[in-house]
Homo-oligomer: A and B are copies of this chain.
């Protein structure tokens, strides 16, 4: 079975188990809405691709670790959209969770998804207990304190923001976690894989900045010009569109160069380069062509 389909099955299993009796019906509906239909599932695809590049093309642990990371990514989107943060009414081209289900359920959906992510890891590791501890540690580091996405979001509450740490924690950490989890899932040392995750995280941050400054709301699935309007750091404001595009290209190059020697390295390289074409707003892709 293709990796994308396996990830969706893991996500469906997690939601079905979480939504079974006696779950309050609206919470179950809101959790389902937060996860399906998903975006590109970039992070879990990365986890599974790294596991595959290491030589294990059908790792159930990698599938579950990828699904756990996607649940955490969805949790962070739901909480980031809350009125006290971005106050975003639109996400993935439709109403955000709090806009549709109200703020209390949106807070609880995020909380429940964080819990369910760790439960999904546990389910994935039932036949290989040695991997659960390292995976919990890796993924907790990617989402929690001191340098995960929660810490990244918290930089916005500081009187003085550390922009490097902010981006590294808010966007980069979960990519590093996704890559490292793929290596751990198949018994490889995750350390040599971390630079790949860091570069991919930087590329996605640059892409996000480019879409915010030069993309359309339709293409992004969310309002644009949010960084400008909220005075948040943005690479386009700093380097201009051409400068940000140049940096994006360099960063994708750095990412593929950072792939460690491994069985499926060439395939992973092609996959990352193919995905990178989606990182540029279509308007800019045309003008760059």
Contacts and interface: CB of A to CB of B under 8 A. Distances in A.
Interface in A20-58: 20-28, 31
A234 B227 CA distance: 46
Nearest to A124: B133
Contacts of A119: 136-137, 140-141, 144
Nearest to A168: B22
Interface stretch (A79-87, A188-196, A197-205, A261-269): A79-87
Given A23-B146, A146-B23, A137 B122 contact: yes
In the complex, the count of this chain's copies comes to: 2
A270 to B, nearest CB: 34
Given A108-B153, A151-B23, A154-B27, A118 B140 contact: yes
25 contacts: A18-B144, A22-B147, A22-B165, A23-B145, A24-B165, A26-B157, A27-B150, A82-B107, A85-B107, A104-B153, A107-B107, A111-B150, A112-B151, A114-B115, A116-B145, A118-B118, A118-B136, A119-B137, A119-B140, A121-B136, A122-B136, A129-B129, A129-B130, A132-B132, A132-B136
Interface of A: 17-28, 31, 75, 79, 82, 84-85, 101-105, 107-108, 110-112, 114-116, 118-119, 121-123, 125-126, 129-130, 132-133, 136-137, 140-141, 143-148, 150-151, 153-158, 162, 165, 169
Closest 7 CB pairs of A and B: A115-B144, A23-B146, A18-B145, A27-B154, A119-B140, A84-B103, A122-B136
